[in-house]
Amino acid sequence: MTLHLPCSVPCNLCGGTDIAVLSNRSRSGKSLRTVICKACGLVWSDPRPYAPKPFYEEAYRVAYKGTCHPKPKHVLRAGKVALSRFEKIGCFLSEPKKILDVGSGGGEFLYLLKLLGHDVYGIEPNRGYAAYAIQEYDLTIEVGLVQEVPLPVDAFDVITMWHVLEHTEDPSAVLARLRPALRTGGILVVEVPNIEATCQSPKSTFHEAHLYHFNAATLGALAARVGLRETSHTLSNDGGNITMFFEQGVPQANDPAGIRIPGNYERVSSIVWNHTALRHYLTPRPYARAWKRMLRSLSEKCETSGFAGAKAMLDSLYSRALRQQRSGIAQ
């Protein structure tokens, strides 16, 4: 006799309810049941740990950043991340483009693209961070969840979604909404944490803010289901993140219940269950990470001092980086 565990949230990829439990605790130590679909290997929180709309509109930034508006150190970090993200998509931006950034946060990435001459728009659910980005950088940002904001059809050359999809209640519906907003030949860039990652402490793998967890197989299959065709994907150096590039394709006509990814459940569950604290702390990763965090903290105190405001700090960071980039191209 096969035991079927209760499942209150069917699999977002294949609709399955035959699941296994990967974890019962979040990184905060609180109760959080994380399950995996045995048919396709998608991972999610079941039941939901919170109501997403009020959480992301009001509580999320306070819970994870301790502030309603970004502090100088947050702006500096986000500015450096923005530069690294630009490197990933720079090949698509050789001429001015119309760009939408979903989950635009404090606006640092959009501001960089604006300085480079692109026509930029954002969507951000958190009212405090959205208001900050609008006021500080004069950006056009719709305040709300991507599921609720009206999207024009055939409007954008590039749509980016950096570490947003894992926070959404219905990722397949989000991808389906974004597809028509892409122009013909346009590109959708999605970056998410990699459920196969072992660079983090095992107890830090799952937490309340991430409702879904993907590997390359499930992310690609989810997008294909709604009519997005993967053109390529990359992994970060530590394996922690997947960046996947999509263009418009043809939605799958088949019932999602027919979607299977053979061996993916076994692959993902094996990696998660074998990523133990003992194995992790016998590698240099946790000690290197602690050292880098200490150095970053010391560096940030110097890098954020002497500026009249966050915008001036970003202007300095971006102009220096862009000068170096132009110098490298000239050579």
* pTM score: 0.93
* Rounded Cα distance, 225 and 221, in Å: 6
pLDDT at residue 1, as a whole number: 42
Where residue 5 falls (left for φ over 0; alpha for ψ -120 to 50; beta otherwise) is beta
* Rounded Cα distance, 173 and 168, in Å: 9
* Rounded Cα distance, 129 and 109, in Å: 13
pLDDT at residue 59, as a whole number: 81
Pairing mode of beta strands 212-213, 43-45: antiparallel
Q: Please, what are the averages of pLDDT over each run of 10 residues along the chain (331 residues)?
A: 79 96 94 97 96 84 77 93 96 96 97 96 95 96 95 97 97 96 97 97 94 98 96 96 95 76 98 94 88 85 84 92 63 44
Domains observed in the chain: 50-250+279-330 (3.40.50.150)
